[in-house]
Amino acid sequence: MVLVVDIGNTNIVIGVYEGDNIAGSWRMVTRSEKTSDEYGIFILNLLNYNNIKQEDIKSAIVSSVVPNVMHSFQNALKKYFNIEPIIVGPGIKTGITIANDNPREVGADRIVGLVAAYHLYGGEPLIVIDFGTATTYDVLSESGEFKYGITSPGIQISADALWQKTAQLPSVEIKKPKSILARNTITSIQAGLVYGYIGQVEYIVKKIKEELNTANMKVIATGGLGRVMSDETDVIDLYDPQLLFKGLKIIHDKNVK
């Protein structure tokens, strides 16, 4: 079995692969102050609860955009599983080419998503949208070359900013109201957030296709709020909630003999 881990700004998402199938997946809140013992015991408890034996975990791969977490997390895997994890970063085999101006600045999560999209859905130009803490739009050529990426505040960041920076606006559930013509504060905020974000997605995708003069680009979405967006616009061709897990497993297999 292979442990796959994506450490994001908001959540740490953990999965276990048995062969090519996901045997289980879980998430926890990202906190940089946790110790290696806390991470180790937490993972062991998850595995035990799901009847997965500690000794069955033979290797691990980790992608992270939170450097402060990595020391404790790596030590947890070494201490409790006797594993030296593969870390997604410069020099690792991925099967794609990072060809933008600063390859070393590209987040590990973006690389992982692009790898999965290329190997699973490639053969034509792709746009990979990850609706996470930030929303990223990454462009991948049919040959697996990544040159262009766009980053915007995630929809939850936008919602939190409204709530935190205004005296009278409440925190609201992110969902699409029945009409953009809101008649109360709650639906007014929801309309602005969701309809506004749909508009952002559609416009950015349109401009990417225009500037590249390429109409037939497949658009793949992932991330926690990707389902909400993919259900509300026809510019997204496919929503894959497991895209990062799949990318981690693909990279793992390329780097383990």
Catalytic residue among 6, 37, 101, 109: 109
Residues with Cβ within 8 Å of 207's Cβ and at least 6 positions away in sequence, in order, are none
pLDDT tens track for 22-43: 888 898 888 878 899 999 999 9
d(CA 217, CA 204): 13
Q: Which two tokens stand for residue 200?
A: 């952002």
For residue 22, what are the β-bridge partners?
A: 17
Q: Which helix (H) or strand (E) holds 109?
A: helix 108-121
pLDDT tens track for 158-204: 888 888 888 778 888 888 889 999 999 999 999 999 999 999 999 99
d(CA 198, CA 13): 26
d(CA 224, CA 189): 20
The pLDDT of residue 133 is: 86
Tell me the mean pLDDT in the region 90-105.
87
Indicate the residue type of 200: Q
For residue 86, what are the β-bridge partners?
A: 61
Name the E strands within 113-228.
126-131, 134-140, 145-153, 218-222
d(CA 126, CA 219): 6
Clarify whether 109 is annotated catalytic: yes
Q: Please state, as a whole number, how many other Cβ atoms lie within 10 Å of the Cβ of residue 117.
A: 26
